[in-house]
């Protein structure tokens, strides 16, 4: 049960920090700031809950890990349920917080960091571009996660977080970057309208890409041969003069001498 709660918490933090940055800080930090918010949130959670659940926080990642043969179906289903729950609670928390904006904040108009495409979203890219980007970006992201965790790298969290930030820097104008069905689902539930109509793409494409990445890791790539560097320390044996001296036997102690036999007259 601990690992499911960990997935709930990790996904909550990801959506709360990432989408919260879009809602509250986008004009100040810009695209790079939003990208770093998502990347740093994932990085922090990898080192926080990684030892408990593996820190998937993403149904596409869970499907990739399952397809790679590294987890059971029952666990995969439970992970995905708790991930969606965490994303919904995080989005609901952001909606509640926007009510504190004194000038008024309309979620359906101003958004909640939801994903999308089309002439009224981001850079105005079409659906085909959105599908291509989400598939490739999710494949890269899941592949990096599978490889770094397979190698058991201590800096896996840094690599994964920077990879997500890199993807966001590239794709924010295209789709707002999903690569995570749960991350897209939470905000869309409250924004409704077009965000809900376009949600299918962000549920289907990243999921398929995650499965494909897992199958590729299972069938096409060998296991990582990474071995942590082991430092050998030479230990020199110091022999003192006392240790070199012969040790007297117990049967004939050194302080005892034998009497010479006396001659008979």
- Comparing CA positions, the residue from 177, 186, 195 lying closest to residue 138 is 177
CA angle 135–133–44, rounded 5-degree value: 80
d(CA 139, CA 167): 11
Q: Are 107 and 96 in contact (CB under 8 A)?
A: no
Q: Are 23 and 98 in contact (CB under 8 A)?
A: yes
| Cα distance between residue 126 and residue 116, in whole Å | 10
Q: Who's near 218: CB < 8 A, 6+ residues apart?
A: 67, 68, 69
Spatial distance between the Cα atoms of 76 and 59, rounded to a whole number of angstroms = 8
Give the domains, in start order, of the chain with CATH numbers.
Answer: 2-219 (1.20.1080.10)
Q: The tokens of 55 are what?
A: 């820190």
pLDDT in single tens digits along all 265 residues of the chain: 899 999 999 999 999 999 999 999 999 999 999 999 999 999 999 999 999 998 999 999 999 999 999 999 999 999 999 999 999 999 999 999 999 886 888 898 889 999 999 999 999 999 999 999 999 999 999 999 999 988 777 899 999 999 999 999 999 999 999 999 999 999 999 999 999 999 999 999 999 999 999 999 887 755 555 454 545 555 454 444 444 555 555 444 444 444 555 555 4
Q: What are the CA-CA distances from residue 189 to residues 87, 98, 111, 114, 196 (Å)?
A: 10, 16, 11, 9, 7
Per-residue pLDDT at 239: 45
């Amino acid at each position: 049960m601990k690992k499911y709660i960990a997935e709930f918490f990790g996904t909550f933090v990801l959506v709360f920090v990432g989408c919260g940055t879009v809602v509250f800080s986008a004009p100040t930090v810009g695209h790079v700031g939003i990208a770093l918010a998502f990347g740093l949130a994932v990085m922090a959670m990898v080192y926080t809950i990684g030892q408990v659940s593996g820190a998937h926080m993403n149904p596409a990642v869970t499907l990739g890990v399952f397809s790679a043969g590294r987890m059971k179906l029952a666990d995969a289903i439970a992970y995905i349920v708790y991930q969606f729950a965490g994303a919904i609670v995080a989005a609901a928390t952001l909606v509640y917080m926007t009510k504190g904006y004194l000038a008024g904040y309309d979620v359906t108009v101003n958004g909640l960091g939801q994903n999308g495409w089309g002439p009224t979203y981001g850079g105005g890219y079409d659906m085909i571009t959105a599908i291509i980007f989400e598939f490739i970006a999710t494949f890269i992201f899941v592949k990096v996660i599978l490889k770094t965790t397979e190698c058991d790298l201590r800096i896996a969290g840094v690599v994964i977080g920077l990879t997500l930030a890199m993807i966001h820097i590239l794709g924010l104008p295209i789709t707002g970057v999903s690569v995570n069905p749960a991350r897209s689902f939470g905000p869309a539930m409250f924004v409704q309208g077009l965000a809900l109509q376009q949600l299918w793409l962000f549920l289907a494409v990243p999921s398929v890409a995650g499965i494909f990445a897992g199958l590729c890791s299972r069938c096409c790539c060998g296991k990582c041969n990474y071995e942590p560097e082991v430092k050998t320390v030479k230990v020199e044996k110091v022999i003192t003069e006392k240790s070199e001296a012969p040790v007297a036997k117990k049967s004939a102690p050194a302080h005892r001498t034998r009497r010479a036999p006396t001659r008979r007259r």
